[in-house]
Copies of this chain bind each other. A is one copy, B any other.
Amino acid sequence: MTSFLHAFLAPNSIAIVGASSDPTKRGYKALFGLIKDGYEGSIYPINPKVEAILGVKTYPTIMALPEAVDLALICTPAKTLPSILEQCGTNGIKGAIVLASGFGETGEAGLQLECQVLAAARKASVRIIGPNTSGIFNLHKKINLLALDNVKSGNVGIISQSGNMLLALALEAAKNGHIGFSIYIGPGNQVDVDFADYLRFLGEEDNTSVATFYIEGFKNGRAFLDVARQTTQIKPVVVYKSGSTKAGQKAACSHTGALAGSYAMTVDLLRQSGVNVVNRSDELLTVAEGLGLLLKAEGKRVAILSDGGGQATIASDRLIEAGLKLASFSEVTLAALGCILFPQASLINPVDVAGSTDDNPALFSSCIEILVADENVDMVFLVGMFGGYGIRFAEELKPVELITAKSIVNLSKRTDKPLVVYSLYASIKPEPLLLLRNGGIPVYDSIEHAVQVIAALGERGDYIHRCKTAEIQHPLRADPEVCAVFQRAQREGRDLFEFEAKSMLSQYGIDMPEQRVIRRDADYSQVMADFGDTLMAMKVVSKDILHKSDAGGVKLNLSGEPALRQGCKEILSSCRHYKADAEIEGMLVTPMAAKGVEVIVGVSRDPFFGPVLMFGLGGIFVEVLEDVAFRSIPLSRQDAFSMIEQIKASKVLEGIRGEAAVDKNALVDLLLKVSSIVETHTEIHELDLNPVIVYPNGYAVVDARVIISGKLPL
């Protein structure tokens, strides 16, 4: 599908509604910017009071325009909007950028005006960017409605919910000297066009090779994920999401009214869709630059080539911390390096040339050639003084460095393996480093920043690879019996009973322990016949008792009929004490589960992201350490595996203290089935399997809770 934004974000004609001859006004600045930058389309300032502004003829109203215009920049106050949008519609204007503030961000009255504006826009068939936006630019079209100085056109597209953040990135790009921008859009209040629309647009926009976002909060996160899954196949998408702490979420809320869900969840879901998420604001442009140049790596095995042991050490630490691997070189590589480097050089990754290059930096290109040829190497990280040999050691090394840089650039054209450079001299920008950068090789002045780029390349490569092999889960066919259970519960205005939830899960192929519900005296003998003196768990079945343990509604390790009867008696007495009028359906009995590793599988429907599955180890791991992973439903098999491996305590699943590893395949199957069930049964509002006990073979779902929607009021 092609984005509707092309029609007016690369406009051949622009109307400036509220154009002004006051140089401090946006209605002047935008016009000034268009003229200064040499915009080649038609400009129509709208102002009934003057004949011309900056020599451009004005028009009194939109209705008076001589042609149908592509884009309107509206600089007039909030209350004028409904009528102006109506006029835009009459003119055939496709899109409007609304700068005015005073809408939803100011409270109730503003929110009402926002609704009117949206209604007017819909009626007029005009799409709106904003309101309360800082504006847009499209530098390849010479449109810079923010009239920003010192931004050059390039390949980085930016969507930022903060104007200052854009300014910071623009200044950083100017300092860097290489980075240029294609498109900027300030989404403002997103009453109409939203992040997902912008992402689709940037994905399709030819001048943009990386889509970069500063996001405080999504209005429709689900739509963003859906577009991201497609876009990240084509080009890198980098997101900095603010609100990683409660304090940050509060600040974001008072800034853009953004309501944040869980930060950890948002990050997991974005990554699941192939988005590169950065954790630091000062790494957003760095990573965007690197991904824009190098796109991806085939894997995470990095070769470090260094002329200083200290920085080789630092680089090793950072790479490992970022989840990358130091490549193990082949014998051929080691031998080849050994031939050209001093005997005291360290050949085992990280390679430390140990002085070999001091009077011959040309060796760097030979070393890179050797490293790139090694099939155990996915990326090369050059660390150290390259670019500064002519400065630090001897003037005559300058031409050698230049030739070396050229040959490194040539080499990089012949390989798909990314080369990333950290140089002590990066900020001085000596010619050899400029040559590298102009040849498409990014050069950083911080080891830490360079490593973030390498990590992003590896992650994106991994993701693309995972997608290629992704097994798509086919949705389930809804089981009529299960549907009937849901409908009965809805009619009765209650959630599923635990035994119903378990039967439902079992119906769809999830392994479930045997269970019986004791409703009357005669049921005991059947239970005894079925289970004998097996140790049993007994739980109250009642729509009125949600927290069974709190109500004394659970007895464990009961064996034999007398114990079961006694257990039932005690539960009844406790539950009546807890809630006198509780309607008690019976007692669920089920064999006690053997010991194993406790995990939690949960599903909730997030207001922004829709159905989300959570996985974690039980108890303290979830409650205290918040060590959980999230994935958007539906999951692929790869998603399920990756979420199991993502949790910090995943080592526990491998078997600790001599225990056997748990059955990860069974666990993955369970996650996939839960995903399919929730996809099929939209009645499921929340689902909790807590705990599930996992064994070296299979698992046991000990407790299941299903909260449903569509319940009739009682």
Q: Which residues of A contact B (CB under 8 A)?
A: 24, 106, 160-165, 167-168, 171-172, 175, 214, 216, 242-248, 250-252, 254-256, 280-282, 307-314, 316-321, 326, 344, 346, 348, 350, 352, 384-385, 392, 394, 424-425, 427-428, 445-449, 620, 623-625, 648-649, 651-652, 656-657
Kindly state the separation between the CA atoms of A161 and B309 in the bound complex, as whole angstroms. 9
A256 to B313, CA, bound (A): 10
Residues of B within 8 A of A309 (CB): 162, 251-252, 254-256
Q: Whose C-beta in chain B lies nearest to the C-beta of A240?
A: B314
Residue on B nearest A427 in the bound complex, by CB: B175
Among all A-B residue pairs, the 7 with the closest Cβ atoms: A162-B310, A255-B309, A164-B308, A248-B317, A282-B446, A245-B320, A251-B313
B255 touches A312 (CB 8 A): yes
Contact A447 B281 (CB under 8 A): yes
Q: Which residue of B lies closest to A258 (CB)?
A: B313
- Extra pairs beyond A246-B320, A250-B316, A280-B318 (15, CB < 8 Å): A167-B385, A168-B424, A175-B427, A216-B313, A244-B317, A245-B320, A247-B319, A251-B316, A251-B346, A251-B350, A252-B309, A281-B446, A625-B625, A625-B648, A625-B649
A171 contacts which chain B residues (CB < 8 A)?
A: 424-425, 427-428
A171 CA / B433 CA spacing, docked (Å): 15
Cβ of A317: which chain B residues have Cβ within 8 Å of it?
A: 242-245, 247-248
Chain B residues with CB under 8 Å of A165's CB are: 308, 310-311, 314
B175 and A242 contact, CB distance less than 8 A:
no
What residues on B are CB-neighbors of A425 within 8 Å? Answer: 171
- Chain B residues contacting A428 (CB-CB under 8 Å) are 171, 175
Task: Select A624's contact among B245, B282, B316, B651, beta carbons within 8 Å.
Answer: B651
Among B307, B320, B623, B648, contact of A248 (Cβ-Cβ < 8 Å): B320
Given contacts A247-B319, A620-B656, A651-B624, contact A310 B254 (CB under 8 A): no
Shortest CB-to-CB span from A307 to chain B, Å, is 7
Taken together as a complex, chains A and B put the C-alpha atoms of A596 and B129 apart, in Å, by 59
A168 touches B311 (CB 8 A): yes
**Which of chain B's residues has its CB closest to A171's CB?**
B424
Q: A281-B314, A620-B652 are in contact. Are A164 and B247 (CB under 8 A)?
A: no
- Taking CB atoms, residues of chain B closer than 8 Å to A314 are 165, 242, 248, 281
Q: Within the assembled complex, what's the spacing in Å between the Cα atoms of A165 and B307?
A: 11
**What is the minimal beta-carbon distance from A566 to any residue of chain B, in angstroms?**
24
| 9 residue pairs A–B, Cβ–Cβ below 8 Å | A165-B314, A172-B427, A214-B310, A216-B310, A245-B320, A248-B314, A251-B352, A255-B352, A282-B449
A282 touches B320 (CB 8 A): no
| Complex interface: chain B residues within 8 A of A625 (CB) | 625, 648-649
Once A164-B424, A168-B424, A352-B254 are accepted as A-B contacts, the answer to whether A242 and B449 lie under 8 Å apart by CB is no
A164 and B320 within 8 A (CB): no
Query: CB-CB < 8 A to A651: which residues of B?
Result: 624
Task: Determine the chain B residues whose CB is within 8 A of the CB of A244 once the complex forms.
Answer: 317, 321
Complex CA gap A393/B254 in Å reads: 24
Which residues from B are CB-within-8-Å of A385? 164, 167
Closest beta carbon of chain B to A251's beta carbon, Å? 4
> Is there contact, CB below 8 Å, between B316 and A163?
no
- Establish whether residues A313 and B282, one from each chain, have CB atoms under 8 Å apart when the complex forms: no
The CA of A344 and the CA of B257, in the complex, are separated in Å by 13
The CA-CA distance from A310 to B106 in the complex, in Å, is: 17
Tell me the smallest distance from the CB of A167 to a CB of chain B, in Å: 6
Name the one of B163, B312, B394, B427 contacting A24, with C-beta atoms under 8 angstroms: B394
With both chains docked as a complex, state the minimum distance between the C-beta of A453 and any C-beta of chain B, in angstroms: 14
Asked if B624 and A164 make an inter-chain contact with CB atoms under 8 angstroms apart, the answer reads: no
Measured between beta carbons, the chain B residues less than 8 angstroms from A652 are 620, 624
Q: Determine which residue in A309, A312, A352, A425 has the highest number of CB atoms from chain B within 10 A of its CB, and name it.
A: A309
Cβ contacts under 8 Å, A346 to chain B: 251, 254-255
Contact status of A167 and B424, CB under 8 A, knowing A252-B313, A256-B309, A309-B255:
yes
* Interface-central residue, A165, A243, A248, A427, by most chain B CB under 10 Å: A248
- Alpha-carbon distance A497/B448, docked complex (angstroms): 50
**Chain B residue, CB-CB nearest to A425:** B171
A427: chain B residues at CB < 8 Å are: 171-172, 175
Chain B min CB distance to A13 (Å): 29
Q: Is the CB of A624 within 8 A of B656?
A: yes
Q: Nearest Cβ distance between residue A638 and chain B, in whole angstroms?
A: 24
The residues of B that contact A162 with a CB separation of less than 8 Å are 308-311, 313
Residue of B whose beta carbon sits closest to that of A658: B550
Which of B163, B248, B252 contacts A308, CB < 8 Å?
B163
Interface residue from B255, B344, B624 paired with A313 (Cβ < 8 Å): B255
A348 to B255, CA, bound (A): 12
Contacts of A424 in B (CB 8 A): 164, 167-168, 171
A436 CB to nearest chain B CB (Å): 17
Residues of B within 8 A of A256 (CB): 309
B245 and A321 contacting across the interface, CB-CB below 8 Å? yes
Question: For residue A326, which residue of chain B has the nearest CB?
Answer: B247
Interchain nearest-CB distance for A188 vs B (Å): 13
Q: Chain B's nearest CB lies how many Å from the CB of A519?
A: 32
How distant is A40 from chain B, measured CB to nearest CB, in Å?
Answer: 27
| Nearest chain B CB to A177 CB, angstrom units | 11
Q: Would you give the shortest CB distance from A451 to chain B, in whole angstroms?
A: 10
Contact of B321 with A623 in the complex, beta carbons under 8 Å: no
Q: How far is the CA of A28 from the CA of B144 in the complex (A)?
A: 57
Report B-chain residues with C-beta under 8 Å of the C-beta of A384.
Answer: 164
Chain B residues within 8 Å of A175, by CB: 427-428
Cβ distance A512 to chain B, nearest Cβ, rounded Å: 26
Known A392-B167, A448-B281, A625-B649: A313·B243 in contact at CB below 8 Å: yes
